[in-house]
């Protein structure tokens, strides 16, 4: 079986091609971000990323962040969120819980206090339902800092929220006045 290190390496490559740069392997995504599995596997192998259907299913099933999903027939795959390319994930509007969390590195705190949370190159701002998840996200970028987001108030004020297939809450922008720290 594959090592955890190799699974992470392949998962990161899949994130690159399914979220940001499908052209890296000359892959075509449809308007909803779906890619056909057979060409994905073939093109990964052509680029030196050893992949087969069994390994792809293993990565989708065991990825701790549940970054990827298959369609019902398992002949297409896509990233659940985090795209920097224009795709329509066809998510329905959801009512968020009263509070959600956003993890970042301490070095970004002053900027966020001024500008709020902006999506940068991604399609949405990512929020989590668990504070512990936000801490983990923040740790990836340095010393973690977690903002509480007053999502019930945002929702009452007309902001729209979506919930991705892997449980990440998405919105377009979080103005600073809705952040608690």
> What is the token pair recorded at 14?
């899949």
pLDDT in tens, 55-109: 999 999 998 888 999 999 999 999 998 888 888 888 899 999 999 999 999 999 9
Query: 163 and 115, same structural domain?
Result: yes
CA distance 53 to 133: 30
Residue 38 lies in a domain: yes
pLDDT in tens, 131-155: 999 999 899 889 999 999 999 999 9
The last residue of a domain, from among 79, 103, 136: 79
CATH code (residue 13): 1.10.10.970
Report the residue count for the chain: 181
Could you tell me the residue range of the domain that residue 158 belongs to? 93-180
> What is the token pair recorded at 69?
């999903």
Query: 64 and 106, same structural domain?
Result: no
The last residue of a domain, from among 38, 55, 79: 79
In the predicted structure, residue 171 carries a pLDDT above the cut 80: yes
Q: Where are the alpha helices (DSSP H) in the chain?
A: 4-15, 37-46, 53-62, 109-115, 131-139, 151-156
């Amino acid at each position: 079986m594959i090592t955890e290190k190799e699974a992470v390496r392949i998962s990161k490559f899949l994130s690159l091609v399914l979220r940001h740069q499908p052209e890296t392997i000359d892959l075509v995504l449809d308007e909803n971000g779906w890619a056909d599995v057979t060409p994905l596997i073939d093109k990964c192998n052509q680029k030196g990323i050893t992949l087969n259907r069994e390994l792809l299913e293993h990565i989708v099933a065991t990825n701790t962040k549940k970054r990827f999903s298959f369609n019902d027939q398992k002949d297409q795959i896509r990233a659940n969120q985090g795209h920097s390319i224009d795709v329509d994930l066809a998510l329905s509007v959801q009512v968020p819980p009263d509070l959600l969390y956003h993890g970042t590195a301490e070095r970004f705190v002053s900027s966020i206090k001024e500008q709020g949370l902006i999506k940068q190159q991604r399609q949405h701002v990512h929020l989590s339902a668990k504070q512990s998840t936000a801490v983990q996200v923040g740790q990836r970028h340095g010393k973690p800092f977690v903002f509480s987001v007053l999502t019930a108030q945002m929702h009452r004020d007309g902001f729209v929220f979506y919930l991705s297939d892997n449980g990440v809450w998405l919105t377009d922008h979080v103005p600073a006045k809705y952040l608690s720290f």
